[in-house]
Amino acid sequence: MTTRLKLAFAQLNLLVGDVRGNAQRIVRAIGEARGAGADLVVFPELAVCGYPPEDLLFHAGLRRQVAAALEEIRTAAQGVGAVVGYPEYSETGIYNAAAFFEDGRTSGNYRKQALPNYSVFDEQRYFRPGTGPVVVPFRGTRVGIGICEDVWTPGPCHAARAAGAELLVVPNGSPFEIDKQRQREAVLAERARETGVAIAYANLVGGQDELVFDGGSCLVDSAGRVAMRAPAFAEGLYVTDTGSAGGQITPLASEDRSTYEALVLGVRDYVRKNGFRGAVLGLSGGVDSALTLAIAVDALGADAVQAVMMPYRYTARMSVDDAREQARILGVRFDVLPIEAVVSATQDTLSGQFAGLPADTTEENIQSRARGVVLMAISNKTGRIVLATGNKSEMAVGYATLYGDMAGGFAPIKDCTKTRVYSLCAYRNGLGRVIPERVITRPPSAELRPDQRDSDSLPPYDVLDPILDALMIENRSVDEIAARGFEPAVVARVLGMVRKAEYKRRQAAPGVRISSRAFGRDWRYPITSGYQH
């Protein structure tokens, strides 16, 4: 690199489809970067339309709005260069592109070459791949461009270097998952060492449906060392010098901290971007709803959250007391609404249908569905979204009532196993006690019948969760999982429960994705299937 460049990373929280609003944010950031003395400001992938735009890309109206926004952004790029991600429409198709604007003109335009089509990514549905490198001479440095997946494969980076690139800038829309930042930086370091070219990696931040983008924009020098790292989950403009070894390097957070922050940001953006007035949830006195309440308050503030305890004859007094105590600590509105009358009315209505038949889970499900009715009614009346409180372990094996405790508009801990729920409760209490200790230590129970415990229906969670991880994350078979020391019959039972519960999960609320494979965008099992594990 012949000269130093002062780089600004515009780590923005944008809104998918809000092209005009995103363009205004981009123009403001260009002005801020110019005011900070930056030479070049780099924006995230598809910043103009937001990421991922999905089938919005097919709308003619979006195409017109993008064209108008690009003119506005190009005109604003005065006195500072700007690399801006956008969808490029051409006669040959749509491209995931990045334009290099400088002094009111377009100095270069790059089309993403490596289009991911795995996990949560479906880019081959929308985009055509670009071909060849783009290198722009800029203030004494030859700047190459790549986009996100282009750095995960060697080809595009090496081609840029062969074309003379001395710095590679990379707009990204890389969603959070546990330990993802370390993976990103390992790949960036490998590419930098292979090519001898520094890499400026600008990532998106914010929640978008099930995905949370965690930022963590960074500069990796030509030797593969992290020279700058922006904070995770924080929107902002972060400036550094390509020739400096002393840039801001925000430490990597612990697994629990980063996961918790992802959940908080995911809830905050889902509620606010979709225009809800706040959130309401059933607070049962159990650990799942306790964690969900803590996340909701941290995301939205106590004034925007309502907790509702809905006791029935099987609800323990300690459950009511513990729920009340947590609501008091967090300062949220707390209402106790018994469901005895709702359940009795339903059972009376069905008495003729049930005559001569023994009681079973049907009666338990009526209790759960009565609670769902109450919560949804409050949501309709107040404009607050219902937060479902189920965890990944329950969703996996179907230990949840469809239209009951599964009712809701968003499920914050949907991708957290029960084991992780306990870990996150401990983490959150470590910041300041908000969950009563008895909630964490008592045996988990749905409290739908006398003396009920989760262990009556499920293997212990320290057995269940590793089996689920082996199935979902690693795609292991019964035999392979059993070889790790689990009883084959238990493994077969769990995997069978997962298969049978697929129809429930298809009707479940979306929730924050924190693992490398969550129920939702990257879980596509058939409902109707004769496959036997």
Helix/strand/coil for 516: coil
Q: Which residues pair with 42 in a beta bridge?
A: 9, 83
Full DSSP string of 163-196: TT-SEEEEEE--B--TTHHHHHHHHHHHHHHHHT
Tokens for 93?
């198709």
Question: Of the listed 6, 49, 102, 112, which one is catalytic?
Answer: 112
How far apart, in whole angstroms, are the C-alpha atoms of residue 174 and residue 157?
18
CA separation, residue 511 to residues 37, 69, 407 (Å): 40, 31, 12
- Of 49, 148, 157, 416, the active-site residue reads 148
Catalytic, 45? Answer: yes
Q: Please, is 176 exposed, middle or buried when counting C-beta atoms within 10 Å of its C-beta (0-12, 13-18, 19+)?
A: buried
The three-class DSSP label of residue 85 is: strand
**What angle (nearest 5°) sits at the alpha carbon of residue 190, between those of residues 184 and 191?**
90
Q: What share of the chain is helix, strand, coil (3-state, %, to 5)?
A: 40, 20, 40
**What would you measure as the largest C-alpha separation in the chain, in angstroms?**
87
| Residue in the block written with tokens 């924080």 | 234
Catalytic pick from 45, 102, 364, 447?
45
Residues 6+ away with beta carbon under 8 Å from 353:
none
Distance CA 14, CA 282 (A): 31
**The two three-digit tokens of residue 518, written as one number:** 């969550």
**Per-residue three-class SS string for 11-30:** ECCCCCCCHHHHHHHHHHHH
The answer to whether the CB of 213 falls within 8 A of the CB of 175 is yes
Task: Determine the Cα angle at 138 with ends 133 and 139, to 5°.
Answer: 155
Q: How far apart are CA 375 and CA 379, in angstroms?
A: 6
**Catalytic sites, residue numbers:** 45, 112, 148
